[in-house]
Amino acid sequence: MIEDNPREAFFAAGSVVSGAVESVAFGAPCFKLNNKVFCWFSAEEIVCRLDPAGVAEALTCDGARLFDPSGQGRPMKAWVQIPFAHADEWADWAQRAASALGG
């Protein structure tokens, strides 16, 4: 059941993007468009590459933060990690991430 399963919610969200292909990035499931990653699954959350306006908007979601894969205070400025509490919005964020790539 997607409501209880972050991984299933991730795959459901990414699959709404036309032309998206499931793959792996940094050892985690991801979706690519034209061979470029636009979202991946990390720590039971979706991580999306967004344009600056999308980053600013995504960061207003409770618990969202810039993705810091090293955990050393060096976040990736275009990538936002969005918690499972917002899974009902993940498909929209995945679509926005794909659109930011021109998809």
Residues 69-83 have pLDDT tens digits of 989 999 999 999 999
What is the secondary structure of 10-33 as a DSSP string? HHHHHTTSTT-EEEEETTEEEEEE
| 49-72 exposure pattern, b = at least 16 Cβ within 10 A, e = fewer | bbeeebbeebeebeebebbeeeee
Rounded to whole angstroms, the Cα distance separating 76 from 85 reads 22
What confidence tens digit (pLDDT) does each residue in 4-20 have?
899 999 999 999 999 99
Joined together, the tokens standing for residue 81 give 């990690």
> Taking the model in full, what pTM does it have?
0.93
Residue 49 has pLDDT above 80, yes or no: yes
Q: 2-100, what's its fold?
A: Yope Regulator; Chain: A, (3.30.1460)
